[in-house]
Structure 1
């Protein structure tokens, strides 16, 4: 039995945007049946110890296309978790362009960890995140963020970073911060090619982003550096079921198929090598997966940051980059090392200036 369990429900494959770097496959209209979603919630809760925590996430496509379904699933999870004495945590990432009453009700759920995708500068965002009709989407997302800020609703912004826009990341953070955004979650595009020159530009961008973060502490949060701060200073990190990769974490598709991580679902094709055995309707719990061994690579042996490294945690990222869940590549190591080094630099600078 698990103390926490991560369940991601892919509530559809459809989306109203056509982002150039999207990895979720064909945008077909295939909503998750309510009965199947409830069955997945039941199985996840039966996999938990008493007083455990269900970490329930919603994914797509664009999950708010199915906002009414999400609300129904949240209500079911709340009542079932309450009866079983289980704590419930909710999360969702949305493209921020759907503003229906039901979508607003989802985004303002009090226990929901809300993330909105926006790539920073409007021109950068619109160059990669157009609507089905080819229209820009930045203004619509900004309207949603402004509405949430005016309502006092906390959220974080996911900014996809790739060779195309890596130089603009700090400027994009500055721009969004001027709108009132305080929490930033940069996310590397792992599905594209990064060459050595791109890596050097990434390091420069990380340094500038760290300066942005340091100048605005503690009002602003940047995930790349917040996590490193906690690890470097020994601050306890809240344990999560994320990155369980099939052991304590399952993604369920509209067809009822099971995956170790939602990022590996794609269009849920029959030949997807990452699909797990069985169907969500076939069992009573998710306890059959064996514990995962620690990731270890001989290439990691000389690294001084090995004990603080994230690349040994996320098997999904490793698989995307190398085809091997246990082997990171140079891009992931570069990101981890640069973020740690810049975090220490900024913290030392702030400490010295305060003394």
Structure 2
């Protein structure tokens, strides 16, 4: 499977199954599209396919007759003026034919190398991978089901998660860490995110649990990686100092420009939060040397020009930025709608171009959704199976109940067990365990499947009632983000 697109002057060809990215000229770009169509036609003709097989990848080579058809089509598309534009003032049809023949040689060399038109070999592999025994390696501790803000889009209902306000006790948190250690097998590195509501409303317990975790990691040869997500209202110098010592990563919630942030993230008395949190966040980011944190915002139908919010955060000096689309029911006034998609695409393109220019000026920053590793990154199994919610990653409520992740908390049918008795709904855990890009029809033929891992199970459930579906608007935006991320890598390579 290949995916072709044009972005910011680059002609990009992604070979989906190998992950190889090719930046080509206009002529070869068109040739590959015609070659792909001819290859698909040939695949329907088994006898022709058998006749063309010469070595392991050459089942994707096409016949000389098909090549002649492509040559004719290319010559028909490219007028005399195009020859001059693509080649030189003196170019003629013979020059184009030579370039076409060179193009065929390049295409077939890439096929032979296993970097173009490669086969999907992972479906059987992922089934075997998912059948293995799993361990719990990460917990999202809902340290506070309460909040000092009243964000309009909050899926947690101002921190209450369809239930009651509560703060996690030290005893429940301690048992959660014990549960994690006991169910982590031989895995040494474990992750714990202090989440809410607003976790700083229960900061004393956060400190106690970190201290307990540090004691236990010495006893059990474990290494806790603690993280914190905060809206910043109660952030103090003391908390910053503690976080810089103990928290591997900190997420700072802000939506961008003052008017945007204050519309959607007011306090309970209706006042905006921007003026309170921005000086603290700037100080905090600098104290962490602009690493191991990110400012995280949400854009909605109310600010479809969200690239301006990213720019605003970058201009404030933040180097690690995430501004993500809201996920909300269709009836909400702030929900992203189908008619918003094209505008959002334009904003992602605009943001990508801004990032290129910023880097040239020495003002570069990371945008979370454009961060992509084309040479390494997560293993194939991880990229195909997702975040591990319901199996390797669990959320813990203030009273110790276990859910597949923070977005399922409060949904009774997804209650897995508790930190004292462990996971009791093993059938549900198995369902999550088997969730991957091959269990979702929408993912099988999607070029972004190796980058999004099938999307969010919670969003799938909210919109389709099944964790093995996909949130359609989210898919469209994810595909666009992948295109922009790859284009940025192409621009970086071109600059180098």
2:151 equivalent to 1:19: yes
Alignment match of 1:319 (pick from 461, 464, 472): 461
Question: What SS does the corresponding residue of 1:135 show, helix, strand or coil?
Answer: coil
Alignment match of 2:269 (pick from 133, 156, 163): 133
Structure 1 residue runs of 5 or longer lacking an equivalent are: none
Counterparts in 2 of 1:215 and 1:79: CA distance versus 1, 3 Å: farther
Query: Following the alignment from structure 2 to structure 1, what is the Cα–Cα distance between the partners of residues 179 and 274?
Result: 39
Alignment match of 1:303 (pick from 434, 443, 446): 446
> What residue is the counterpart of 2:485 in the other structure?
343
Alignment match of 1:222 (pick from 359, 367, 375): 367
Deviations 1:265-292 (A, max 9, x none): 1xx3xx633222x322224999994333
2:436 equivalent to 1:294: yes
Alignment match of 1:281 (pick from 378, 396, 420): 420
Asked if structure 1 preserves the Cα contact closer than 8 Å seen for 2:435 and 2:468, the reply is no
> What residue is the counterpart of 1:210 in the other structure?
352
Deviations 1:239-290 (A, max 9, x none): 799821210111110122111001221xx3xx633222x3222249999943
Larger Rg: 2
Aligned residues: 343
Shift of 1:305: 3.4
Question: What SS does the corresponding residue of 1:157 show, helix, strand or coil?
Answer: strand
From the two aligned structures, give the one with the greater helix fraction.
2
Counterparts in 2 of 1:130 and 1:286: CA distance versus 1, 3 Å: same
> What residue is the counterpart of 1:175 in the other structure?
312
Question: What SS does the corresponding residue of 2:140 show, helix, strand or coil?
Answer: strand
Query: Following the alignment from structure 1 to structure 2, what is the Cα–Cα distance between the partners of residues 321 and 191?
Result: 9
Query: Following the alignment from structure 1 to structure 2, what is the Cα–Cα distance between the partners of residues 159 and 76?
Result: 32
TM-score (norm 2): 0.64
Structure 2 residue runs of 5 or longer lacking an equivalent are: 1-132, 331-335
Deviations 1:113-141 (A, max 9, x none): 10101111111001111111111100111
Shift of 1:17: 0.4
Query: Following the alignment from structure 2 to structure 1, what is the Cα–Cα distance between the partners of residues 447 and 422?
Result: 44
Report the RMSD for the aligned CA atoms in angstroms. Answer: 2.7
Counterparts in 2 of 1:102 and 1:282: CA distance versus 1, 3 Å: farther
TM-score (norm 1): 0.87
Query: Following the alignment from structure 1 to structure 2, what is the Cα–Cα distance between the partners of residues 279 and 344?
Result: 42
Deviations 1:178-211 (A, max 9, x none): 2210001222211243322111121111112222
